[in-house]
Structure 1
Amino acid sequence: MIAPSLATGDGQGGEGRAYTVVWRLHFYAGLVSVPFVLWLAVTGALYLFQPQLDALIDRRYDMLEMRGSAAAPSAQVAAALATVDGLVLNAYELPAGPRSASRVLIGRGSDLYRVYVHPPTLKILKVVPENERLTRLLFYLHGELLLGWPGSMLVELAASWTIMLILTGWYLWWPRDGRGAGGILYPRFSARGRPLWRDLHAVFGFWVSFCTLFLLVSGLPWASSWGGMLKAVRQIGSETVVRQPWTTGSESEAAERVEAHDQHRPAVGGGRGSTMSGTLYGELDRLVPIVAPLGFAPPVLISPPSALSPTWTARSEARNRPLRQSVTLDGSTGAVTSRTTFAEWPLIDQLVGYGVAIHEGHLFGWFNQALGVFTAVGLVVVSVSGVMMWWKRRPAHRLGAPMPRRRLITLPALWGGLVILGVALPLLGASLVLVLALDRWVLPLFPDLAFYLGARSARG
């Protein structure tokens, strides 16, 4: 579908021929990307308000009646473990306030549960699988369509084509006729029909393109394929296993849980009726009063020794990642044995951390959320206006792609740019090669289909 436009042209100058080629690339990139862009815009806008949604859902557990003193943290953990057979402690979360329920994360293997415990009475208020919380469902809807690894690959492929869409869109947007700012920097609302849709598409596309490109690039480290390759590259020359402070999809997250949960110290008990007396979890009572005054940004989780860490660990899981830090502790004495701040993370982890904090709307408060909403709304406008432009100009019996030219041309800059993009975004590169192969060897066998798709200017 794309190949003919990359190899053909008429007698016009290089600029005109390049414009046609880029237009066709833009058209097909939009064809692939628009449904995903709409989905990601809506789910991403909702996920921006994760803190507010979590607070709304959990509000009843942060306004509890507290009569009497709170039980020891180890007793709270024991009460949580008694709810489900065979589980171990993943983390104890420091209470958010004096009237808050204790949150205890328990699990084994890939399963993880959040248990809400009333501190004075040890009554279990709620048990919910961590992956079934609303904001976690939104996270997986946004990042992998609730399809696991295949969904992550689809989202990454769509994101890669959307990057192509933005880059070609910049080229098409660039003013060439000296007509002024109307339709370039602001829409001409006096226009009607397709010209108005064109203005909306071009203007909103320009203003949201920079934020969109940032969001796409900052999301790639989380994707199964691109993020996995990044980790593999980082592993080259390293004598230890590289651990990144982010996951590359639900399956890698589950694998990390299996590694950590299933290899706790042999002395660690769990399961219904365990009193925790004389076990490792009793050390939690010594550690909570030490961790609480450290002033970590909430939520603060205290985790027991595991395969991933041979000592107790207290860490901030702040949504604003540059605020995160952690300490390791000696469970028998309560001594802090090491401390790591965000500034001590490897540079690549810091860059990804800043990117994710902005991506999720947490780096600079409400303005970050507002900017994210503006971008999401703009993407909806751009997508709808693009569809409307296509709908109003579509010819009969054809998809409506710009028609290919007839004479052979060479566009080294364009080919070079595509090669660079294909290397930087392997799924995009692989899909482009597949499209070229289909166009070269398959579509000629179906001339009517080739004509409909715009790969040939005439049937036969």
Structure 2
Amino acid sequence: MSIETLSTQGTPADRRPWLDLRAVWRWHFYAGLFCIPFIVWLSLTGALYLFKPQVEALIDRSYDTLAVTGPRASVADQVLAAVAAVPGGVLNAYELPAGPSAAARVIVGRGTEQFRVYVHPQTLAILKMVNEDDRLMRIIFRLHGELMMGDKGSYIVELAASWAIVMILSGLYLWWPRQAQGLAGIVYPRLGAGGRTFWRDLHAVVGLWVSFFALFLLLSGLPWSKNWGGYFKEMRQITGTAVPKQDWPVGRSDELAARLATNQAVAAGAAPMADEHAAHHHHGGGMPAMGAPAAVDYTPLDTLVATVAPLNLAAPVLISPPRQPGGPWTAKSDAQNRPLRTNLTLSADGQVLTRQDFNQRHWLDQVVGIGVAAHEGHLFGWLNQALGVFTAISLVTLAVSSVVLWLRRRPADLLGAPPATRASQQPARSPWLFALLLVALGVFLPLLGGSLIVVVLAERLVLRRVPAARTWLGLAA
């Protein structure tokens, strides 16, 4: 586990290279042993999340083909009906409908919660109400990024992702051909070889072809994590590259804090109604929205929808109320393909005050946005989803083949760390380069750097000194 050469019986200390291939192999082995369960978990949940638009369209299909036989109610009345369905709630956003027969989708906030309310656009009947955190794809998102454990889960996933990077880089380092005779077993597996050769080739070749995509997914997911995302945010503050509001939350606590701040600001910034009877103007002929907060004026929404809809922003398009008295309304495209996103501010009478397209954002926000769009499978359509599925299947194959190789080689009653062999005691190629790579990774990924120090100290100060642990792990005294 230490970067120093691990001793082998019968090998004089003065003849051992300071970093041999066995040491690199051990880093690869232990990183894999820790990462494999997480790699399988992240691959399966990530593959499911790739199809979020299709799954959500399938779930909501019955709400997009409603029978609308008469005039539609005003947008303000639709929103009032939705807000009234959530006692103590405030409007977070109204989503532009996908078509004339689609239910109105209204996001209503209350404390740290958000509810998606489906309203019939003619009768104002509440068709469905669901907590945003209880939606299927939102659950999968949280299972993928935080194991449904909040910030603690985010730390665990980030640690696993960091060690997965070590696993992939050390695997490529070990894979690099030394005395290759042909491409078999290097760029394509010898499928007819059978036995250990088949599994070894499958592991090495799949690892080669998936390594770039896996590294990209691991790195592009870091800005969302609690630890590295916070680290990145601090660096932006120090370097003067921070923006007033970035387009992604950093961990679960940051997301909940943002929701609470939004709901409090909207409640405080609600403008008094110009007409005390405006809440009862139901053009669709429905009953007044009982319990609706009479101090909130949503009447500008009809004008704002008339302004925003012709702009043809990428769906879904959300219109949100002011966050301070007399402040502007906002509209934004919340498209999964982030380079298509646009942010607008508008006056209550429907004038566009400002517009920011994706290419006008800070270059760091553009890089992260492009990375996240590709990570989620929406940067370049179905091909992006196909590459995501390929990567997920390849990573699961890599994990299964590594477990098979380990179990076939593992001695009874021992962990089965890589044994010393004559070949493995060769000096590693460019040992200083590999050591510097580990140090650079430890600086770039602080959680990894801290865990590396803990592992090295635990091995040298504790595990090597306990005979039973030393024997089971295959360490030198």
Global fold match (TM > 0.5):
yes
Tell me the distance in 1 between the aligned counterparts of 2:418 and 2:19: 12
The equivalent residue for 2:312 is 295
CA contact (8 A) 1:92 1:302 kept: yes
Matched, 1:431 2:451: yes
Counterpart pick for 1:80 among 52, 70, 82: 82
The equivalent residue for 1:280 is 297
Tell me the distance in 2 between the aligned counterparts of 1:68 and 1:278: 29
The equivalent residue for 1:312 is 329
Question: Displacement, 1:266?
Answer: 4.6
Tell me the distance in 1 between the aligned counterparts of 2:272 and 2:412: 71
The equivalent residue for 1:201 is 203
Question: Displacement, 1:236?
Answer: 2.2
The equivalent residue for 1:267 is 271
Tell me the distance in 1 between the aligned counterparts of 2:442 and 2:340: 35
Question: Displacement, 1:442?
Answer: 1.3
SS in structure 1 at match of 2:183: coil
The equivalent residue for 1:392 is 408
Tell me the distance in 2 between the aligned counterparts of 1:258 and 1:114: 16
Cα pair distance change 1:24/1:444, threshold 3 Å: closer
In the superposition, the TM-score normalised over structure 1's length comes to 0.93
Counterpart pick for 2:68 among 46, 54, 66: 66
Cα pair distance change 1:314/1:256, threshold 3 Å: same
Tell me the distance in 2 between the aligned counterparts of 1:61 and 1:431: 49
The equivalent residue for 2:180 is 178
The equivalent residue for 2:2 is 3
The equivalent residue for 1:350 is 366
CA contact (8 A) 1:259 1:307 kept: no
Tell me the distance in 2 between the aligned counterparts of 1:397 and 1:211: 36
Tell me the distance in 2 between the aligned counterparts of 1:120 and 1:91: 20
Matched, 1:103 2:105: yes
Cα pair distance change 1:451/1:278, threshold 3 Å: closer
Q: Unaligned stretches of 5+ in structure 1?
A: none
What amino acid is aligned across from residue 286 of structure 1 in structure 2? T
Matched, 1:210 2:218: no
User: Which moves more between the two structures, 266-275 or 167-176?
Assistant: 266-275
The equivalent residue for 2:464 is 444
Matched, 1:453 2:454: no
Question: Displacement, 1:239?
Answer: 11
Cα pair distance change 1:349/1:309, threshold 3 Å: farther
What amino acid is aligned across from residue 37 of structure 2 in structure 1? P
CA contact (8 A) 2:45 2:144 kept: yes
Question: Displacement, 1:234?
Answer: 1.0
**1:231-265 CA distance string (max 9 Å, x none):** 11112265987421011222211111111111221
Cα pair distance change 1:397/1:268, threshold 3 Å: farther
Tell me the distance in 1 between the aligned counterparts of 2:371 and 2:263: 29
Tell me the distance in 1 between the aligned counterparts of 2:259 and 2:240: 23
Tell me the distance in 2 between the aligned counterparts of 1:137 and 1:308: 35
Cα pair distance change 1:96/1:309, threshold 3 Å: farther
Cα pair distance change 1:422/1:240, threshold 3 Å: closer
Tell me the distance in 1 between the aligned counterparts of 2:324 and 2:469: 56
CA contact (8 A) 1:403 1:455 kept: no
Tell me the distance in 1 between the aligned counterparts of 2:297 and 2:461: 66
SS in structure 1 at match of 2:366: helix
Tell me the distance in 2 between the aligned counterparts of 1:438 and 1:310: 57
Question: Displacement, 1:307?
Answer: 5.9
Cα pair distance change 1:238/1:202, threshold 3 Å: closer
Tell me the distance in 2 between the aligned counterparts of 1:346 and 1:376: 31
Question: Displacement, 1:229?
Answer: 0.9
Question: Displacement, 1:172?
Answer: 1.1
CA contact (8 A) 1:268 1:281 kept: no
SS in structure 2 at match of 1:263: helix
Q: CA RMSD in A?
A: 2.6
Counterpart pick for 2:48 among 28, 46, 49: 46
What amino acid is aligned across from residue 26 of structure 1 in structure 2? H
CA contact (8 A) 1:5 1:20 kept: no
CA contact (8 A) 1:227 1:248 kept: yes
What amino acid is aligned across from residue 133 of structure 2 in structure 1? N
What amino acid is aligned across from residue 53 of structure 1 in structure 2? V
User: Which moves more between the two structures, 254-263 or 88-97?
Assistant: 254-263
SS in structure 2 at match of 1:281: coil
The equivalent residue for 1:113 is 115
Tell me the distance in 2 between the aligned counterparts of 1:382 and 1:24: 17
What amino acid is aligned across from residue 367 of structure 2 in structure 1? L
**1:182-227 CA distance string (max 9 Å, x none):** 1111111111121111011011111111100000000000111000
The equivalent residue for 1:247 is 249
SS in structure 2 at match of 1:45: helix
Tell me the distance in 1 between the aligned counterparts of 2:52 and 2:150: 21
Counterpart pick for 2:339 among 322, 325, 329: 322
In the superposition, the TM-score normalised over structure 2's length comes to 0.90
Cα pair distance change 1:20/1:233, threshold 3 Å: same
**1:338-371 CA distance string (max 9 Å, x none):** 0000001100000001001100000111000000
Q: Among the aligned pairs, what percent are the same residue?
A: 52
Question: Displacement, 1:15?
Answer: 8.5
Cα pair distance change 1:350/1:297, threshold 3 Å: same
Matched, 1:258 2:260: yes
CA contact (8 A) 1:263 1:306 kept: yes
